[in-house]
Amino acid sequence: MNQSSLLLTQGDPAGIGPELALRAWMLRDERALPPFAVLSDPAFLERVAQNLGWDVPVISVEMAQIPKAFPKALPVLPLSVSVSAQPGQPDAGAAASVIESIEMAVSSVQEGSASALVTNPIAKHVLYEGGFRYPGHTEFLAALASEGREETCHPVMMLWSEQLAVVPVTVHIPLASVPTALTTDLIVLTGRIVARELRERFGIANPRLALAGLNPHAGENGAMGTEDARIIAPAVDALRAEGIDVAGPLPADTMFHARARSRYDAALAMYHDQALIPIKTIAFDEAVNVTLGLPFVRTSPDHGTAFDIAGKGIARPDSLIAAIKLAARLGGS
């Protein structure tokens, strides 16, 4: 079995994912990209390339043919369904192809015929209309990864760049729900997974974690909220007891300047925007979404479907290219 190839899922066909895959292949030599294949409908990708005026030959392949085909054409592992989509016009009828692409990619990495997967953006509201029953992309991947396993996977989202790596402990929930959802056990579990994956996948022998406080000034000794002392500080103690190098809770407003970033390998934030605002400010075009806690490597560009610019050929491929390179690094390609 071939261990060197990466798989790119199709993503929402009405979004920018398909054209970014084409653009990444066009830049394969300039950016020194490893061989990859897209799980999609070859005829659909040919139409996308033609509509954009791009000279991208597309070839239908089997897994073992990817490395040989990649230098001369974009390899595509065909889906069982055809794909027909108009740029910028999401359609629930495409849900079947989006889901099949993800399922095929997970199956391939699970069985060892591919080294890692890179997922192109999906639109959850479109999939919901098509009967999708999972809260999001990551939860679907975790469910697929957990099939046949005694323990369910606990996925952790990390946004990674060369300058900064951040992990939101709570993710896609309303800000008002964060104090209730945030628990010491959740922080400990998240920190444990992050430390383990930094060691095992990123090769950092002694990972250093920094935990942000929830409230301004990390609570100011209770003057601005008690969650930092009641919830976060005990998690810090528990992680230290496990031998993990961790600091916190720290005031979030002073955690992300250059000198502060030099003191840790990953920052754990307590809610979505506390994590994503700094990394999207520092590395908007290069940041990569990495899912930790899965039994395989999954990365994704740190942007959405961008329906508003789909089909115009102006979407930047930097984040997808960074995701491909990181997947290859973590997957050992």
3-state secondary structure of 220: coil
Q: Is 263 annotated as ligand-binding?
A: no
Token pair for residue 89? 């016009």
Find the length of the chain: 333
Quickly list H helices, 147-282. Answer: 178-181, 184-200, 227, 233-241, 258-261, 272-282
Q: Is 199 annotated as ligand-binding?
A: no
Q: Is 289 annotated as ligand-binding?
A: yes
Q: Is 217 annotated as ligand-binding?
A: yes
What is the rounded distance in angstroms from the CA atom of residue 183 to the CA atom of residue 204?
27
3-state secondary structure of 251: coil
Task: Write the burial class of residue 288 (CB in 10 Å: 0-12 exposed, 13-18 middle, 19+ buried).
Answer: buried
Q: Is 154 annotated as ligand-binding?
A: no
Q: Is 125 annotated as ligand-binding?
A: no
Closest CA to 45 of 13, 71, 15, 68: 13
The helix (H) or strand (E) run that includes residue 37 is: strand 36-40
| 133: phi then psi, degrees, rounded to nearest 5 | -110, 10
Amino acid at 125: H
Q: Is 124 annotated as ligand-binding?
A: no
Cα angle, residue 219 at apex, residues 215 and 222 outer, rounded to 5°: 140
What is the rounded distance in angstroms from the CA atom of residue 309 to the CA atom of residue 172?
24
Q: Is 152 annotated as ligand-binding?
A: no
Token pair for residue 33? 């990209």
What Å distances lie between residue 80 and 91, 122, 281, CA to CA?
18, 19, 40
The crossing angle, in degrees rounded to 10, of helices 17-26 and 318-331 is: 70
Token pair for residue 185? 């056990």
Q: Give binding residues as ranges.
A: 137-138, 172, 217, 272, 280, 289, 298
Q: Give binding residues for a divalent metal cation as ranges.
A: 172, 217, 272
Q: Give binding residues for substrate as ranges.
A: 137-138, 280, 289, 298
